[in-house]
Structure 1
Amino acid sequence: MQRFEGRVALVTAGAQGIGAAIARRIAAEGGSVIVTDLQDEKVAEVAAELGDRALPVRVDVTSRADIDAAVAAGVERFGRLDVLVNNAGGCIINSLPEETTVEDWHRQLDLTLVGAAQCIQAALPHLIETRGNVVTISSVNGLAAFGNVEYAAAKAGQVAMTQNFAARYGTSGVRFNVVAPGTVRTPNWDSQPGTLEKFAKMYPLGRVGEPEDIAAAVAFLASDDAAWITGHTLPVEGGVLTGPGLLDLTPQGPFHKE
């Protein structure tokens, strides 16, 4: 399939993991990609892999100046912008919720929620022109109580923000959707050996996700195959939101894996 032939996407946090998989998927389907990240060398490696279809740009999504510069550079290089993938964000607060400081809250929200909002604001004039769309990578943490309160609140905020943008800009032809992943095998887990195997027992499908699972969902929502879908949150989570796999991990539990 060449669903992105002639189209241009900007992917934040595209140097590795989910972001890199999304950039590869869009390029594989004929699109050009502005790959942004704070990790200069890694984002350059991803862009080099994709060749002339990719432009690497260093971006801190908490900096509006960085975002504006990336959008401008991408439009100058490729002539247009059709898709924004808000992938930047992460769980950066590890303290107990009752111990979290105001500064901690601001750090988490600025990265995950405000950063995504700033990216939308910068991209929106171009997306209106191309009748493009936005896909934001949220999390099951924004849909159910899996802990990490500050991160969960930021991810839930992305869902509400998306619904409001979808309602406001639908008549302009711009669509806004969310993909909410469960646990995904990314380099962030490399320092915690055995954790993903433990988490796999929570999932009715018996495994954690791969970055390519998320990239496939993003490619669908960002393409014309989803032309009449907006304001929607698509959980891509191996069934963990069905409940029993999370609630019963005992040897007698229905989803226990030896």
Structure 2
Amino acid sequence: MLKSLEGSWCLVLGASSGIGRAIALGLAAEGVNIAGVHFDTAARAEEVAELTERIGALGVQTRFFNVNAASKATRAELVPQLAEMTGATGGIRILVHSLAFGSLVPYLPREGWDKRLTARQLAMTLDVMAHSLVHWTQDLVDAGLLRAGSKVYAMTSAGTSQHLPSYGAVSAAKSALESHVRQLACELATSGVAVNALRAGTTVTPALERIPEHAGYIERAAENNPHGRLTRPDDVAEAVALLSRTDSSWLTGNTIGVDGAELHAAAGAWG
């Protein structure tokens, strides 16, 4: 049975740009209160302030925290605050993991690039983009903030099975993230909490534009999508809202494509 999301709370990790930003705005339009964690320099303060103002103008509560979401100290500080903010209204109805900070360095030196990925860079990428999902989920469960009907979404990508010269560490992190999603889904099933990975199609975001090879990748993706366009952040936001309108936890442990059939078309003979 579908239900209204109005009055519930969503915690977005990576809320200030790209897909996380779109999800925050889209859910706020559905009446969902937004807690956003982001990690930005002072140069983006005005942009983030504008975002929180837009969310507030939709008539919902909003709190943004400019801190490192992958830090244990951050969780220790924020989880009690989240409990105070959301506990009386059912805790965290929706948790979105959309952290896109990792090393875009090849494993081995190559022409035009004399550096190679270090152990520290690899560990950081996996910790931020994969392992932090486990740590946040553990702490929110311990605080009683993920309850029956709650939804957990982790943003993955087709990079788990595709090759780009600089994408190795992020690809490994996304693969680990999908594995974490399956394990958390199994362990949270008896609690009625659903955990899924969302694999957006190629979406022009600041994170994508940091990939050295992004221009050619975007061009190929646009050609492959039968819709004749790339995925937009709003497409993913709509999917999150739709999937969250039920208390059922039966749809769980999956990697769900939100890509307009881009990957299916690329594997076949579209166009």
Q: Could you say whether these structures have the same fold, taking a TM-score greater than 0.5 normalized by the shorter chain as the test?
A: yes
1:48 maps to 2:59: no
Q: Write the distance in 1 (CA, Å) between the matches of 2:245 and 2:80.
A: 23
Structure possessing the higher relative contact order (Cα contacts under 8 Å, 6 or more residues apart): 2
Equivalent residues of 2:201, 2:258 under 8 A apart: yes
Cα RMSD (Å) of the superposition? 2.7
Q: Write the distance in 1 (CA, Å) between the matches of 2:248 and 2:205.
A: 27
Cα distance, 1:166 vs structure 2:
0.9
Q: Deviations over 1:114-139 (max 9, x none)?
A: 22222212222334445422111111
Judged with a 3 Å threshold, the aligned counterparts in structure 2 of structure 1 residues 190 and 113 are, in CA distance, closer, same or farther, namely closer
Q: Write the distance in 2 (CA, Å) between the matches of 1:84 and 1:63.
A: 17
Q: Deviations over 1:46-69 (max 9, x none)?
A: 222111421111231220111232
TM-score of the two chains, using structure 2 as the length reference:
0.80
Q: Where does the alignment leave 5 or more consecutive residues of structure 2 unmatched?
A: 110-115
> What is the aligned counterpart of 1:112 among 105, 129, 144?
129
Match of 1:63 in 2: 71
Cα distance, 1:90 vs structure 2:
3.9
Q: Where does the alignment leave 5 or more consecutive residues of structure 1 unmatched?
A: 248-252
1:185 maps to 2:204: yes
Cα distance, 1:18 vs structure 2:
0.6
Match of 2:252 in 1: 230
Match of 1:140 in 2: 158
Q: Which moved more, 1:99-108 or 1:126-135?
A: 126-135
Secondary structure of the 1:83 match is strand
Percent identical among aligned pairs is 27
List aligned pairs for 1:162-173, cutoff 5 A: 162-173=181-192
Q: Write the distance in 2 (CA, Å) between the matches of 1:203 and 1:134.
A: 27
Equivalent residues of 2:9, 2:35 under 8 A apart: yes
Q: Which moved more, 1:146-155 or 1:16-25?
A: 146-155
* Paired letter, 1:209: T
Match of 2:38 in 1: 37
Q: Deviations over 1:227-252 (max 9, x none)?
A: 4311111011232322x5368xxxxx
Q: Which moved more, 1:122-131 or 1:13-22?
A: 122-131
* Paired letter, 1:121: Q
Cα distance, 1:23 vs structure 2:
0.5
1:212 maps to 2:212: no
Secondary structure of the 1:201 match is helix
Q: Write the distance in 2 (CA, Å) between the matches of 1:226 and 1:90.
A: 32
Match of 1:203 in 2: 225
Cα distance, 1:22 vs structure 2:
0.3
